Amino acid sequence: MTEFSGFYNNGLDHAWSLKMQSLENQVDETLGQFLYKEGFRVTSSLEFNSFDNAVVTFRNESCRIRIILDRGFISLALGPLWDPDGWNKGPWYAIEYLVAFLTGEEVSDYQKHEFGKIVQQLRELEHSLRDHLNVICKFFTSGGFEYTREELEAFILEGQDSDLGITQVDSSSTS
């Protein structure tokens, strides 16, 4: 639900502020039923002061999901279980690269949505999650990830050189 409120600055300037529903609530409304059915539970939910940025992370018995709202755009990454658990801990991989790596499909740009249409972006990502979540989580738990991690990261770095311009590997927190 969106709430508008107006205010006056010194009686001269009129401005509007838009208070958006939290990212966690929007994720719950769009993806929640599916994620909970798959055994995922929220492990963290943070709202940042700048640009209405936010992050929500989920975890089940086999993998983690991180959904980030950054300046109106949603990105979704998955990663293996990691200790300590945290939205900025361990390796995270964008869903578009995981799907391409595991299926041989072309890398898709899931961020082709209009700025600020968060629910639309989440619904688009839901389709990819429904189609590929089991394969991705199995990849992280079957031992395949341990043997192909370097290959996956090379695949992602190669893809970053393409016209997509999306940063995919969060290597700053993998140590």
Measured CA angle at 99 (ends 118, 162), to 5 deg: 80
Residue 142: the pLDDT is: 79
Strand ranges inside 29-158, DSSP E: 41-47, 54-59, 64-70, 73-79, 93-94
Summarize pLDDT for 152-166 with one digit per residue, the tens.
Answer: 999 998 877 654 444
**Two tokens at 148?**
């192909």
The pTM for the full model equals 0.76
Map out the domains of the chain as residue ranges: 22-173
Predicted local confidence at residue 94, as pLDDT = 92
What pLDDT digit, counting tens, does each position of 46-65 carry? Answer: 998 877 899 999 999 999 99
